[in-house]
Structure 1
């Protein structure tokens, strides 16, 4: 549980309906396409599926954030978050998930690819969320307003070898997966199971064995301190991004949205993501060395002959 206003609360997201990729249409469909191209990812994570339930806020938020999300500065900030998470995970107990030995060569390859997917996108989601929260709190990047000619853009498009964001249902029929999800949600104070665990549940024996090792780790003080530190790092990095974010509570109210509810939802995501990033790093350390994991699994090349706002 997380202490909030003197009460223990679940990291829930109210009654807001999530919008899946299959349900998206109109503006949400347009934004989902741009998210995958700009953030270079094969699917839409829980953050965006939840934000999309606020029909007017979602496209306004994305249009305000997209100029930042396609910069080298944003990519580098996410790289820094990823590296810190790996270093923090490396100081914790290793999972040493023995069930991985039972995986066939093809299954092991796919599982490693799935971990690479989340190892790449989750740090970007945290920096993105922190930047949105800063804007809603009335704070802007310290370097906001930097000349566009000085800002490098990265390539668009999903990396060719990135794993598709496939996952089991959030309400699985198989009883043992259902019980596993309930235990994860209760332990981590979640109301919705994250995409990451739903993907790892494609290999249920692996996730079950890994969670048994992970559960006591996430309940420890060292893990909680590492998560708090990672959140603060993301906030500081978001504060150094090159452009201001034209988004505010006043703008949300003009759109007819509930600014307080959206701000609360955004804050909850910012609380959730650091521990998730460290958890994925712990799973990944069973497969790769820390020296490898601190590097981006999908390095982004510069966008050819392009800077923010035009071509050189």
Structure 2
């Protein structure tokens, strides 16, 4: 597919900038993922997407669906051979601390993003997504980024280093478009670790059990998205009415969903390769607000 522009956080303006802020606060992460930045290249769609998805994303039900999906990912890979990249890479103590923080950020963010992508893809294809609950009736989570979450730091998608640029090209060729996935750009801050990990991850992706696990995760993400509490009011007709290219939006959303299960399986292998790393490290707290406040926010 043709290269799709991404909107950086520094380059975001207007409605996109507002949605970026709300995404960080609601997902409780320190940055905006590649998938979301790719959607933001279609700004009117992006704002409409968040209006449709936001009420679900802030609920306990969404949190539990994403955590359940991530647990499935971990269970799928726990019996696979140990990756061994963490011990093989030549990293100092400080480098390991920061690389570990990057992995924690990714495991907190990417299952949630896949759930969003699957919900949006199905809605754009005319499928019913979400239940018929009345807005405001599902338990919500407190917004805000955990103080101990690592900052999102990435290497540019076209780095000056030829070896890293070649590695990025191989990653995209293997996992599919659009663009270099955010976790690999983050881990490229430690090139020797990323190169070691990718050299061990790539061969496994060709195995039948890997493909079967990815297929199961994709179906699980779709099932969990259908069970979200609120209807996702989004369609290709609405996207077109907003003046966006609905076919292009659907195509890029399908591509993002298609590669996400494999990326999650690889992320799981890297996470489980780090000694004593917590699973589900930053759960959300209940949002304790009076009913009248919640009602006012929905107006």
What is the match of residue 298 of structure 1?
282
Distance 1:56 1:284 in 2: 36
- Cα RMSD between the aligned structures? 1.8
What is the match of residue 27 of structure 2?
39
What is the aligned counterpart of 2:53 among 56, 59, 65? 65
Residues 211-230 of structure 1: matches in 2 within 5 Å? Answer: 211-230=198-217
Q: Does the CA-based 8 Å contact 2:138-2:229 persist in structure 1?
A: yes
C-alpha displacement of 1:198: 0.8
Q: Does the CA-based 8 Å contact 2:178-2:252 persist in structure 1?
A: no
What is the match of residue 133 of structure 2?
146
Q: Does the CA-based 8 Å contact 1:99-1:206 persist in structure 2?
A: no
SS state at 2:158 partner = coil
Q: Does the CA-based 8 Å contact 1:100-1:108 persist in structure 2?
A: no
SS state at 2:289 partner = strand
SS state at 2:223 partner = helix
C-alpha displacement of 1:258: 1.6
C-alpha displacement of 1:15: 3.9
Residues 1-312 of structure 1: matches in 2 within 5 Å? Answer: 12=1, 14-97=2-85, 99=87, 102-141=90-129, 144-148=131-135, 150-288=137-275, 292-293=278-279, 296-305=280-289, 309-310=294-295
C-alpha displacement of 1:189: 2.9
Which blocks of at least 5 consecutive residues in structure 2 are unaligned?
none
SS state at 2:288 partner = strand
TM-score under structure 1 normalisation?
0.89
C-alpha displacement of 1:128: 0.6
C-alpha displacement of 1:56: 1.2
Q: Does the CA-based 8 Å contact 1:155-1:300 persist in structure 2?
A: yes
Structure showing the higher strand proportion among its residues: 1
The alpha-carbon distance between structure 1 residues 98 and 76, as it changes in their structure 2 partners (threshold 3 A), is closer
Q: Does the CA-based 8 Å contact 1:152-1:306 persist in structure 2?
A: no
Distance 2:86 2:122 in 1: 42
Q: Does the CA-based 8 Å contact 1:92-1:217 persist in structure 2?
A: no
SS state at 1:245 partner = coil
The alpha-carbon distance between structure 1 residues 150 and 255, as it changes in their structure 2 partners (threshold 3 A), is closer
Runs of 4+ in 1 over 6 A off after TM superposition: none
TM-score under structure 2 normalisation?
0.93
Distance 1:208 1:101 in 2: 9
SS state at 2:5 partner = coil
Distance 1:98 1:251 in 2: 46
- How many matched pairs? 295
The alpha-carbon distance between structure 1 residues 101 and 189, as it changes in their structure 2 partners (threshold 3 A), is closer
